[in-house]
Amino acid sequence: MEPGKQSEITKLAVVGGSGLFDFDGLQVIGQHRVETPYGKPSAPVLEGEVEGVRMLFLSRHGEGRHLPPHAINYRANIAALQQLGASHIVTINIVGGITSTMGPGVWVIPDQIIDYSWGREHSYSDGTGDVTRHVDFSDPYDRELSEKLLQAAHAVGLEPVVGGTYGCTQGPRLESSAEIQRLRQDGCDLVGMTAMPEAALARELELPYAGFCLVVNWAAGISERMISIEEMQRVVSSNMPPALVVMAKLLA
């Protein structure tokens, strides 16, 4: 799918991590155990309804959150969603804030990515096929889908920051203060661990992909306060519930 190309959302897939599927409002009506040429996805793909709207849901860290970011089978995850007929993907990411407008509790719809991860299976062109495919990744997030996501967020009373660069690090450890300063100098506004290679794989399969990021902490060295995992979890608990309603509004 070319960035910005007009397309109808016929089946939305939501890929989430921490806390997304733990809240009331999601009615699970079935699940799909999918085999792909790249192995099994992180978890069974749920089919469910939010406010009467049916969607696909995939927990990227698996059942019980046992998969660290670098061990996720991103290729199987995106391929499974395509096999199940997904027309668009929205990913929900838990991130750290680097620039001043992106503090804890802020939702962000990013428009760029810098990839600092390594060693992950990051392409379907892995040398086993007949053709190596080069895709345009100038705009990692689909513009039209991101605009629809913004409108859906406004419909439920959220005012996300529009635009920003997501720096994708390896994890699972958090970054050092020096690493965050490097990311800041490189132009990153957010730091997370799961946007890549997810976004690039969706582009290879021509699936429009947009990101909805919840900032849960200031990145290392940005604030004088120490990073608290408990505080991050509190931010998730208090800010995540509207996210699924935003997804439903995308299809309203």
Q: Would you state the pLDDT for residue 121? A: 94
Window from 9-18, 33-42, 101-110 with minimum mean pLDDT: 9-18
Total structural domains within the chain: 1
In sequence order, what are the residues at sequence separation of 6 or more whose Cβ sits closer than 8 angstroms to the Cβ of residue 130?
Answer: none
Q: In terms of Cα–Cα distance, which of 144, 161, 157 is closest to 246?
A: 157
Q: Is residue 24 part of a domain?
A: yes
pLDDT digits (tens, 9 = 90+) for 55-83: 999 999 988 778 999 999 999 999 999 99
**Domain boundaries, position 237:** 12-122+145-250
In sequence order, what are the residues at sequence separation of 6 or more whose Cβ sits closer than 8 angstroms to the Cβ of residue 179?
Answer: 169, 220
Window from 142-151, 193-202, 241-250 with minimum mean pLDDT: 241-250
Report the CATH number at residue 245.
3.40.50.1580
Q: Is residue 2 part of a domain?
A: no
Structure-model confidence comparison of residues 213 and 132, the more confident one: 213
Structure-model confidence comparison of residues 197 and 126, the more confident one: 197
Strand partners, 28: 48
Q: Is residue 50 part of a domain?
A: yes
Percent of the chain with pLDDT over 70: 94
Q: Is residue 155 part of a domain?
A: yes
For residues 4-36, one letter each, b for 16 or more C-beta atoms within 10 angstroms of the residue's C-beta and e for the rest, the string is eeebebeebbbbbbbbbbeeeebeeeeeeebeb
Structure tokens at 194: 């799961």
Distances (CA, A) of 52 to 155, 223, 245: 16, 42, 10
Q: Would you state the pLDDT for residue 4? A: 44
Structure-model confidence comparison of residues 65 and 31, the more confident one: 31
- Tell me: pLDDT of 20 over 90: no
* Burial (0-12, 13-18, 19+ Cβ within 10 Å), 80: buried
pLDDT digits (tens, 9 = 90+) for 168-200: 999 999 999 999 999 999 999 999 999 999 999
Q: Would you state the pLDDT for residue 1? A: 45
- Tell me: pLDDT of 205 over 50: yes
Distance, in Å, from the CA atom of 164 to the CA atom of 124, rounded to the nearest integer, reads 27
Distance, in Å, from the CA atom of 174 to the CA atom of 114, rounded to the nearest integer, reads 17
Q: Is residue 40 part of a domain?
A: yes
Distance, in Å, from the CA atom of 60 to the CA atom of 217, rounded to the nearest integer, reads 21
Q: Is residue 98 part of a domain?
A: yes
Give the predicted TM-score (pTM) of the model. 0.92
Q: Is residue 32 part of a domain?
A: yes
Mean of the per-residue pLDDT values of the chain: 91
Q: Is residue 221 part of a domain?
A: yes
- Tell me: pLDDT of 128 over 90: no
**Measured in Å, how far apart are the chain's first and last C-alpha atoms?**
22
Q: In terms of Cα–Cα distance, which of 110, 111, 121 is closest to 73?
A: 121
Q: Would you state the pLDDT for residue 130? A: 66
